[in-house]
Structure 1
Amino acid sequence: MTRYSLLDLVPVVQGGTIAGALANAADLARHAEALGYNRYWVAEHHGMEGVGSAATAVVIAHAGHATSKIRIGAGGIMLPNHAPLIIAEQFGTLDALFPGRVDLGLGRAPGSDGRVARAIRRNLDSDEGAFPRDVLELQSYFADDGQAGIRAVPGAGARPEMWILGSSTFGAHLAAALGLPYAFASHFAPGLLDEAIREYRTRFRPSAVFDRPYLMLGFNIFAGETDAEAEYLASSQQQAFVALRTGNPGRMPPPVEGYLDSLPPQQRAILNQVLSASAIGGPDRVRDQVQAFLARTQPDELIIGSAMFDHDARKRSVAIAAEVMQGL
C-alpha cells in the first residue's frame, strides 16, 4: 500500500478568523492521525490572507501538541527566507519536543510575492548556488560537526527528517545528489512532474540517510458522498486558484454550484492544467483517479491536499481519501 499523508495550508475562510483556522488545523491533525495518515505537513506562505501557516514552526508545534504519533512537519520551509542557524534552532526545538516525529521539508521559492519576500529578507541578492549551500550548512548544524564554526543550541544532534521540495528538476537533482527524500508539488505545479521523477530516480546517490530514492507526490483529493457534491465542494479551491493566478488572492470563498462550467474556456483550461493531479468525486471516482495517478507515477507516498470552505466537509473528504488509499 502506498503511504498517504496530509498537506494543510491552514485555510482562513471568508467570515472566519486566524484563531478558527488554527483550531481547525489541530482538529484536522488529530483526525488525520486517527485515520492512519503518515504525516501532517504545513507550508510556509507569507502575505496571503487565506493562509494561516506563515509562522510555520509555531503551527507545527500546535499540531504536535494536538497529536501523539503522526509525523508533523513543514512542506515546506522556504530556506532562502531564513538563516540556516535559525531553522536549526527552530527544528532542533521541535525535535526535542516531539522526538522522532519531525519532518523538515526545504524549498527555495519565496512563498510570497517580491514585495513580501523583500520585507522578509531585506534584500533579494542571491545566486542559484545559495540554496544547496544553505541546505549543507543546515545539515552541518544538526550533525554538530563543527564545520559551521558555531553550535546550534537547540539543533546540535537533532534528527528531523530532511526533505527537498520542488516543482522543477532543480530540487530533484539536489535531493538525488544529497541522497535525501524528495517531494514534488504536483498538486499545483504538475508541468515537470514526469521529468522530475525521472531525474530524481536516475541520479539518486545513496547516503547515510536513505539508501534508495524515496518519492512523495502532491495530489489533491476533493471527495464527497457523490460526484456532484464533491464538484461543488472543490469549487472553493478552484476559485482560490483562479484568484491567485489573476493577482487577487484572498480568504477561501464558499463553494459555488457550477463554478467550473461558468469560467471562460481559457481560464477553465488553465485551472484544469493546474489541478490535473487531482481527484474530484465520490468514493468510486476518487478511487479510479487515484489509482490511475499511482500507476503512472509509482510514488512511495502521496501527500494529499483537500482544502475546503466547510471544515466538517473537509474532514469527510479526508476520511474518504484514507479509505481509498487503504483499499488500493
Structure 2
Amino acid sequence: MTPTFETLDEFANLMRNAPGPDAQAKAGAAERNSQLTKPPGALGRLEDLGIWYGAWRGMARPVLSAPQIVIFAGNHGVASRGVSAFPPEVTAQMVGNFQAGGAAINQLARTFGAQMRVEALELDRPTADFTEAEALGAADCVTALRAGWDAVNPAADLLVVGEMGIGNTTAAAAIAAALYGGGAEAWVGRGTGVDDAGLAIKRDVVTQGLERHPGVQGLAALSAFGGREMAAMAGAMMRARYEGIPLILDGFICCAAAACLETEVPGALDHAVAGHQGTEGGHARLLQELGKEPLLQLGLRLGEGSGAALAIGVMQGAVACLSGMATFAEAGVAAG
C-alpha cells in the first residue's frame, strides 16, 4: 500500500524509509550485459544506465514503454520585485500553451512516446515574497508535495518532472545558496534573460531572503523559498521512488527542488539521473553538489522538463540495447 503523509515530518520519515533498488535484478542485468554481442564496455555509459534502470524496475531484462512527463506550474510572490523579464501572467498563459500542445515539451513528449500531464497549482494565489515571510510555510508546502505525489501514474516506468513559474529561477538560486553556501553571486543567473540591472535586483532579492531565513536546510529551505511547482516536483520525485519508477532530473529549478530532498535525506535521489546540464547560472555546480553527471549538454535553459525529456531517448536506447541485443550464445558468435 502506498504511504501517505500529512506533515513535513511525516514526509521526511517517508523519505527515510523509501525502498531501494533490487539487488538481484541488478546482478542479473549486469550478467546479461556481460554476455551481449559487443566488446566489454563498448556501449560506454549506456551499459551502466541499462543496469541501473533494471535494478530500480526490478527486472534483469527491463522494458521501457510508458514514460510520463508531469509539468507543474506555480506563481511566486517574489516576482513582484522585478526579478524576471516576463510578468507573472505568463505562467497561466504558458499553462494554456501546454494544454493546447504548443510548447517545446509537448513536441518532445510526442517524440518519445511520453504521457504528459499539466498541473496548475493555485496560480491566483502566489507564494509569499520570501524576503518578507516564508514563501510557502509548512501547510502550503505539504499541500504542494501531496499534489506532486498524486500526479504520478503508478503504471509509468520512467518519470520526468518539469515546471513553469515566473520568478522560479530566483527561488531556486535562494534554495541552492541556503543549502550549499556561496551567497547570491554563486547561484543567481539571468533566468528568462534579465539585463544587468535585473540581475542585480535578483542578487539583492536572494541576499535579502537568505538574511530573512538563515540556516534553513532540506525541506525547511523548500518551505522558506520554494514555489508550489517546486514542492510538487519534490513530491512527485519521492512518489516515483516508492513506485520503483526511475527519474530523470531536468534543469536548475528541478535540481534545486531535488536538492532539498537530498539534503534532508542523503541518498533520496539514488533513483534519479541528471538529464542535462543547462546554461542557467549555477546548474553545473548544483549537479556537482548532487553528484549527478548529466547525460546531455546542449546549451538549454528553457525548463518545462525539456532537457530531461530529450534524455528519455538516451534511456530508451540503453534499455533497448540491454534487453534487445542477443548474447554471444544466442547469436552463435564466438566470445573473445
Q: Which has the higher helix share?
A: 2
Greater relative CO (CA pairs within 8 A, separation 6+): 2
Structure having the higher Rg: 2
Calculate the TM-score normalised by the size of structure 2: 0.28
Q: Which has the higher strand share?
A: 1
